[in-house]
Amino acid sequence: MRYSNDPRLGVQQALKTAAKRDARQEVEGERLNRLYARIDSAPSQAIIVGIDEVGRGALAGPLLVAAVVLPARPRLAGLNDSKQLTAGQRIKLAASIRELASAIGFGWIEAAQIDRTGMALAMRQAVQAALNQLDLEPDQVLLDGRPLAVHPRELAIVGGDGTEAPIAAASVIAKVTRDAWMAAADIEYPGYGFAANKGYGSADHLAALQTIGPSAIHRRTFITAIINTQDSLF
């Protein structure tokens, strides 16, 4: 290697820094190759849809499902399960996903509908709505988690948001989109801390429910379940 025998301390430190950078880049490249392996091995015209949801366990706000179709190239640098990323990383990636994705679809199910139908049916409805919005016929539909029997060519993969690029992209775009919705809801329904807790049952959120009661976007059936298990809530 050029300069490898240079005795100057600054040169040797620069070489070590470059070697560490190259090693990190190699590891990241291998991770991305694994993430994109299914797309890479599929026929060039195959449509592989990644599906993921956010908001399933929240006490307030909608359930949101995203459906994403990604090309094999270019790779989305840093793409990963949304839970492994910072908020800033997710926002930056979401912008790249919107720019590079072949297609994106969303399925929204509001709190009142979740109360009427239950989460199991709401989840299937949201997935179907997201697929319908794509306006194309998938060759394969990759789901994160358990089978839903929504599409004849679906494949459920536990932990798929960390192993499949289309699911990872769906997890990021869904999270960023719903987080923005909840931040707007915090302005319309102040006092619950929606911008911070995103509708989930944080201590501050539970305290607000006890003090001011539920809002129009709370899931009444979910709150009832909490009342039954936490007598001190109300």
| Percent of the chain clearing pLDDT 70 (strictly above) | 88
What does the alpha-carbon distance between residue 128 and residue 105 come to, in Å, rounded to a whole number?
10
Burial class (CB in 10 A: 0-12, 13-18, 19+), 34: middle
Tell me the per-residue pLDDT of 14-43, one tens digit each, with 9 for 90 and over: 667 766 776 667 678 788 999 999 999 999
Tell me the per-residue pLDDT of 47-106, one tens digit each, with 9 for 90 and over: 999 999 999 999 999 999 999 999 999 999 999 999 999 999 999 999 999 999 999 999
Q: Which residues contact 22 (CB under 8 A, 6 or more apart)?
A: none
Q: Is the pLDDT of residue 127 over 70?
A: yes
Q: Is the pLDDT of residue 232 over 70?
A: no
| Residue 229 binned pLDDT confidence (cut-offs 50, 70, 90) | very low
Once rounded to an integer, what is the mean pLDDT over residues 154-167? 95
- Three-state SS for 26? helix
**Structure pTM?**
0.86
pLDDT at position 228: 54
pLDDT at position 231: 46
114-117's contacts with Cβ under 8 Å and 24+ in sequence apart are 114/63, 114/219, 114/221, 114/222, 115/219, 115/220, 115/221
| Residue 227 binned pLDDT confidence (cut-offs 50, 70, 90) | low
pLDDT at position 148: 95
Instruction: Give me the domains of the chain, ranges plus CATH numbers.
Output: 38-229 (3.30.420.10)
